[in-house]
Amino acid sequence: MTQDDETIFVVSGLPRSGTSMIMQMLANGGLETFTDSVRKADESNPKGYYEHEAVKRLARDNSWVHLAKGKSVKIISHLLPFLPMNYKYKIIFVLRDIDEVVMSQQKMLVSLGKSKEMVYPVGLKETYQQDLRAVHKWISETHNAEMIFVNFADTITTPLKQAQKINLFLKNRLEIRQMVTSVREELYRTKNENNVIT
């Protein structure tokens, strides 16, 4: 068994930051994913969410984590500190303009009927900013995890370059050209252009 067979490959970020796209890139590149079929693709994520229900319980139950060894798993940013310390992690953290994240999340809630109007939730932005600060603090104090940051907008505009960056981080184990096929510019629907969200 190689060290990579024991490593858990985590894709993380704030909600609506592009983590599903990165998971798809890894899957198309040849990395097995730790997912289930509970959450189906929808208008907000037409290519699927690449999630596993067990991940949502990470804060109170990490007994499943060993099942993700040698695979990629999507873990939302605020759950990272609950990862058990007896495993090795390589974490791809997806960064996206925070105003885009907030409004993309709001659009999804409206489409799901969980919010009645398109308003800018100021409190949510502050919560997400706190999450990002907590992630930086956590990774600086963690000795069993490596992390790279991948920008969502850069992945849309320069997918080959970002795929190469990810592949290098994962020790050249992926098929780069297959990874690039996962990137669809038309799905970049909430943009911050000159400080105006569209």
Match 């993380």 to its residue by tokens: 12
Q: Is residue 29 part of a domain?
A: yes
Q: Residue 13 maps to which CATH number? A: 3.40.50.300
Q: Is residue 138 part of a domain?
A: yes
Q: Is residue 196 part of a domain?
A: no
Q: Which helix (H) or strand (E) holds 111?
A: helix 98-111
Each of the 198 residues of the chain gets a pLDDT tens digit; together they read: 455 679 999 999 998 899 999 999 999 999 999 998 766 555 555 565 688 999 999 999 999 999 999 999 999 999 999 999 999 999 999 999 998 988 887 776 656 565 555 555 678 889 999 999 999 999 999 999 999 999 999 999 999 999 999 999 999 999 999 999 999 887 676 676 655 444
Q: Is residue 190 part of a domain?
A: no
How far apart (Å, rounded) are the C-alpha atoms in residues 182 and 22? 8
Q: Is 82 exposed, middle or buried (0-12, 13-18, 19+ CB in 10 A)?
A: middle
Per-residue pLDDT of 136-157, as tens digits, reads: 999 999 999 999 999 999 999 9
Q: Is residue 191 part of a domain?
A: no
Q: Is residue 184 part of a domain?
A: no
Domain count, the chain: 1
Least Cα distance to 83 among 108, 57, 107 occurs for 57
Per-residue pLDDT of 113-143, as tens digits, reads: 655 555 556 788 899 999 999 999 999 999 9
Report how far Cα 65 is from the mean position of its chain's Cα atoms.
17
Q: Is residue 104 part of a domain?
A: yes
Q: Is 14 exposed, middle or buried (0-12, 13-18, 19+ CB in 10 A)?
A: buried
How far apart (Å, rounded) are the C-alpha atoms in residues 158 and 71? 25
Least Cα distance to 58 among 10, 106, 25, 93 occurs for 10
Q: Is residue 53 part of a domain?
A: yes
Q: Show the domain range for 138.
A: 3-179
Q: Which helix (H) or strand (E) holds 89?
A: strand 89-95
How far apart (Å, rounded) are the C-alpha atoms in residues 105 and 23? 19
